[in-house]
Amino acid sequence: MTTLDIPELALVALVGVSGSGKSTFAARHFAPSQVLASDAFRAMVADDENDQSASADAFAALHHVAGVRLRRGRLTVVDATNLQPHARAGLVRVAREHDVLPVAIVLDVPEALAWERTEARADRTHGRQVLARMQRDLRRSYGHLEREGFRRVHVLRGVEEIDAARIRLEK
Ligand code: GTP
Ligand code: MG
């Protein structure tokens, strides 16, 4: 079993391609109210969780809510791919503004599995190329996360390691 130590008050960024199991992981380990999902914020601002044109507004709203939660001392998990440096920089900034540690949890599954899962979903319409690009972004993310300001970086590789992980909150 892999134990992931996380400060009781942290901003946790899940990092992984579409189909890596971020939302499933978030639902398993955290309360629904602790999880801010980019999909949910796209739906909130545009009535469509896949409307990519709503991303800027959705993330602005997500960052705002994350900031409010951190100000109130609430652990907050961001369920988004977080594969791009600029996306992660926004989260590190919000965490720093509130003197909270940013933590990354990387879910790394084989690309073929992520694609199989994505293809099976009616609510995901992006193609193979988009997933391949995400996978490249993930590869590039390794080695950058600490430098970007993530104080802890937990990497879970493969379905078994993801399944066996548990979260331990540090008082
Ligand atoms: P996006 O929201 O598209 O970025 O994907 P995601 O990373 O949130 O993946 P999600 O948790 O939605 O998982 C994608 C699919 O894989 C879902 O249909 C899940 O049921 C399935 N899945 C995720 N994690 C697991 C797992 O640990 N075991 C199994 N068997 N299926 C999983
Ligand atoms: Mg998801």
How far apart are the C-alpha atoms of 11 and 100, rounded to whole Å? 7
Measured in Å, residue 113 CA sits from the centre of ligand 1 at 10
Q: For residue 1, name the pLDDT band (cuts at 50, 70, 90).
A: confident
Measured by CA distance, the residue closest to atom 2 of ligand 1 is: 18
What does 71-91 look like in DSSP terms, one character per residue? HTT--EEEES---SHHHHHHH
How far apart are the C-alpha atoms of 145 and 125, rounded to whole Å? 29
Nearest 5°: phi and psi at 79?
-95, 90
Q: What is the pLDDT of residues 28-42, one digit of tens each?
A: 999 999 999 999 999
Measured in Å, residue 72 CA sits from the centre of ligand 1 at 30
Beta-ladder partners of 5: 168
Say what the ipTM of the complex is. Answer: 0.96
Task: Give the model's pLDDT for residue 126.
Answer: 87
Measured in Å, residue 34 CA sits from the centre of ligand 1 at 18
Which residue out of 18, 23, 125, 166 has the highest number of ligand 1 atoms within 8 Å of its CB and is therefore the one to mutate? Answer: 23
Smallest CA-to-CA distance from 13 within 164, 133, 161, 144 is with: 144
Q: Structure pTM?
A: 0.97
How far apart are the C-alpha atoms of 7 and 100, rounded to whole Å? 9
Percent of the chain clearing pLDDT 70 (strictly above): 100
HSE of 82, CA atoms in CB hemisphere, 13 A: 34
